[in-house]
Structure formats: C-alpha cells, structure tokens
Structure 1
C-alpha cells in the first residue's frame, strides 16, 4: 500500500479551470502535488505550482479535502488532497507550459468538467459550482463511496 498527501489548487479564469494530466493518460487532476514532511500545505502548493509550470501564485483559502484510492500494478494507492483557492495572473486564453516533460496543463470550461475525467471524482461537483462553498468541502471516493458534503 502507498499513501499520498497532496495539496491541490483551484485556479479559475472566466468559467474555466486549469487541469493537469500525465501525457497519454485519460485521468486529469487539479494542479499541485505532494506535501513534504513538515511542510505547510499552502507552501507545498505554491512550491509545486512553481516547480511544475513556473506559476507564480498566491495560495488562498482552504476549500476542503478529497480522498481517493486506486490500484496501480496490483498495489493499493490511497491519497488525501487538501484543496485551496489559488490566485494568479493567468487567464484561460494563455497556454501553460509544463516544466516536467510527463505533464501537460490545459484549461477547460467548468461546466464541461464531466468530460475530462477529473480525479478524485468527488471534485467534479465542487468545480462545477459557480461559487465555492464557505463551509469546508469533504469528498470521498474510497471503497466505492463517492460522497460529497459542503
């Protein structure tokens, strides 16, 4: 079993959201990445955005968390994603160049999120909301459960 502790950001521009995927994969995710031991989650998110795509960002309010599990070569993988609002100067008309050859960044319309295979799956309902909830979000895709609460 492998556990992943991640910080992810919601970066929006005029009804669009920034997504990431491994090149050749069908699954997408919000920008961000692994939190290092004893690293504050917001700092990890700012660091990951800079490392992966030279995105200068101000990490804002904590939005909530989403857990997920999957199997990779027969090994159970489990993750908890801490989700934050992120402010940048980016617009959806700007292409984002990845600093990592295995990743690609792209903008999609929030209303079309179901077509982009976003994981954890519980984040799809959150992304479609015009305004993010003030109360902390919790979504789960563990053991077949797909629950969302705000």
Structure 2
C-alpha cells in the first residue's frame, strides 16, 4: 500500500525520486497533460525503504535496472495540483542505471505507456524548463549536490 492518503481536499504523499545524470544531462519526466517537469520516481509503499522504492519505480516506469549510489536529501513540499492541496515528503537519491540508456534530445515514453513523457536535459539548460519542486532547481543550480556533477564529468 502506497504511503498516500487523502483528508477532504488535502493529500499527504511520501515519494522517492531519482537524480539520474548521464553525459551531463539530467533525466526528467512529466505527465502528458502537465506543463511542468519533475524527477522520475514515485510513491513509497508502507514498510518499503525509500531506496527500494526508487529502484522499483525506475523498473516499473522505464523497464531499467538501477541502483542507488547515495542518498542526497529529504525535502518537504507543499503545493496544489488538480485542486487538491498536497503535503509531500520526498526522498532524493543519486541513481545509476545499470542497463543501457541512450541520452537523446527527443522526448520518449517509458514501458508503462504514454502517460509519462521523459527527456534528458543538459545540466546547463535546467533554467529553461519548469521543474518541481521549485526548490529542486535551486538545489541543483546552487551546487548542493555538486559532487554528483563533478563525478559525472569525470565519467562522461
């Protein structure tokens, strides 16, 4: 059971998100009906570690094997979506995809169907997209996870 519950017009959501960087590009996704992007991932299930949740979500959404390299941060987020007020607690992980994954400038769909669209965005172009949570863009641009970027540059 997902850790997600609704009380009237409010919803609590516990989410695990993957920071996947390859060849200087960040993997992002969005629902086809939305005009904003987020990191891939999904809800954590009751009694499921966050690391296991993010690996499961990458497998379910993209059909790819992955592993968590390290925990990056936890972030509490408040927002409104489809007229519902959300209180979300998100765990963010540096994730390495173990299967072959080609960086492409084209948008693409995962194995779950055509509801979520994915794309790789060059790190230097992050400011050109609307990325939520808003603080995520600030954390990325401010170098909060700078080691992640430095390590990626060495292997690219």
Q: Same fold (TM over 0.5)?
A: yes
| SS of the residue 2:134 aligns to | coil
**Distance in 1 between residues matched to 2:109 and 2:59, nearest whole Å:** 11
Higher helix share: 2
Match of 1:137 in 2: none
Shift of 1:130: 6.3
2:93 corresponds to which of 84, 87, 104: 84
Q: Does 1:98 align with 2:110?
A: yes
Tell me which moved more, 44-53 or 113-122: 113-122
**CA 1:44–1:29 in structure 2 vs 1: closer, same or farther (change >3 Å)?**
same
Q: CA RMSD in A?
A: 2.1
Following superposition, the deviation at residue 61 of structure 1 comes to 0.5
Q: Which of 107, 111, 124 is 2:137 aligned to?
A: 124
Matched, 1:23 2:37: no
Cα deviation, residue 98, structure 1? 1.1
1:44 aligns with 2:53: yes
Matches within 5 A, 1:68-79: 68-79=77-88
Runs (4 or more) in structure 1 with deviation over 3 Å come to 93-97, 128-131
Q: Would you say how many aligned residue pairs link Structure 1 and Structure 2?
A: 134
- 1:52-86 CA distance string (max 9 Å, x none): 11121111210002222222343311111100001
Question: Gapped runs of 5+ residues in structure 1?
Answer: 135-150
